[in-house]
Structure 1
Amino acid sequence: MMYGYGGWGVWSWAVMGIMMLLFWGSVALLVFVLLRRTRTGWDGWGGHYPPGPGHDDPERILSQRFARGEIDETEYKARLEALRHRP
């Protein structure tokens, strides 16, 4: 009589071990994807969400430079016109 091994013997232990690795690996992958998705703004399909309030658009940066006095009114208007009429 064989006690404790069942019909498959050692192979049943190997198959169970591989299945456990696959199960826990998929759980870890799921946790990783969910954490990455909530932290970086990843949409899950390879793209990204639109820029949030931390990103400035070019017109806002230009307006800030004009307000600080880094550029004069002529340069501001010329650059603003160039930004709005991009090809």
Structure 2
Amino acid sequence: MLDTIKTALISAGLTLVSFQSQAAATSDQFGHWHYGWGWGHMFFGLLMMILFWGGIIFAIVYAIRATHSGSGHRHPSDKTSLDILNERFARGEIDQQEFEEKKKLISR
């Protein structure tokens, strides 16, 4: 019983596909079959594919830039001498007197 239903559904589906393709196909005066909409829609499809992949690439680049720029992190080589001095004082490597002396020298 189940095999009969499967066979009926498959044959109905194939029949619908056959009718659809015959309805879309036309014949010219030489007997050549032409399907669908011609060359114009091929270029439209190319344009849509370019827009699709361009959008995907744009989204990826935008996501990367949004996560990395504007985060406020600077490269370690971008530190100023005052930044390094503040870090050394915060870590306790130098005392307040030495910090003030070096800060005056840097500020000149």
The structure that is helix-richer by fraction is 2
Please, what TM-score do these two structures have when normalized by structure 2? 0.43
* Structure possessing the higher radius of gyration over alpha carbons: 2
The structure that is strand-richer by fraction is 2
Please, what TM-score do these two structures have when normalized by structure 1? 0.50
